[in-house]
Structure 1
């Protein structure tokens, strides 16, 4: 659908800000392929994040670092084709914006041109703010990502709670205010104390999207595979499983196997 959509039901950057102003919560899930994105979009989700978590969910890597720009564009393009309503945001993968402002802007433009996504998400605070300003100046809406930033996992040494100390909390607030002033329309807050997330939400004009950041952010995001029960090894405190799709799929496959083995499938009505 992209920027030129005439669909009046299409969620836009402006919709996010209007929802924040009206106190309406924003619901976001990840997706990485056409079929899943279509189901999530038709269910009425506000936004789909084509996360670099595709590195884990789709490719089986241990972290988000290996996924490439080309792979993210492929996943994003597939999701955009499926979406009629939701705002589609794509992660800029590790290594595509950290080296220089110019490289970051160039890669951002390439993602949008080749995939048609509505916005991009970048991990980091003041250290990437010049790149953020440049991408926004190029006409591309930006979501920032603070707190636990998985692309910096080796720096942090794990996936523990972030901004739990006074100094780190102060830096996060300052980063959020600086990014807000730079023009980001949303800020993802991952695995930080709920009180801190609430404070940031009150102080910024941008919509805040929490994951493991309490209930007072303007919205929430989860990885769809975790939220719908397709995974069972990832069980952080903040995760609620809203369905048991993994068991449903397993049972369906087992039923298919049994029908094939018994010669019951295909039956006469299913044959030409």
Structure 2
């Protein structure tokens, strides 16, 4: 039946950064599709409905990725689906000169090395099983880097894309597909926090800060940023059997923000 290609029944999944925003939407979407979904974030939200499937860990650290891998191994069997959503920018505004050594390492660990470490821990079992899907969340900032408060983030996401493409080429012959989703702006709490940082740092109102962000991107033809559920729909497609021939791709979901082909 054609509809079976939309289902993930019997498959084990892990979504990082799954406590809020796009990550939480991805968790909900994969569960709707029938997957057994684990998630990880630094803190379990109050009243979380599946505490037995939540691993509290900071995946930007070696200890955090080790803890996640150990918990999944404990519960048995390889993963079928691994979706890296965790990420973010916390650099203060002010351009390249204000980014300290420590801040560079914070951004690289959160947006690149956490995914690298988790892949290294979890993909060998996928390869042994001969099947699986990995999705990395990059960003349109790898193509349109903003220098004011997210240059380190943009740099890390560019590296994540290069890493993921090489990984896809290595693993596809062995049955594991690797792809990337490249969002533009997403209407999440993290975005609202980013707006606050720009407003505070540059002495703007929140509306003024939002307009600056839109302007810095050259405008958003759709007139809005994506909703978390829209990101989740794209991820749901990429991890499903409908995308069985999709390997090494990066799918932009940005309301038309990137102006080039």
> Which of the five TM-score ranges fits, normalised by the shorter chain?
0.3 to 0.5
Which protein is richer in helix relative to its size?
Answer: 2
Question: Who wins on radius of gyration, i.e. which is larger?
Answer: 1
Task: Give TM-score, length-normalised by structure 1.
Answer: 0.34
**Taking structure 2 as the reference length, what is the TM-score of the superposition?**
0.35
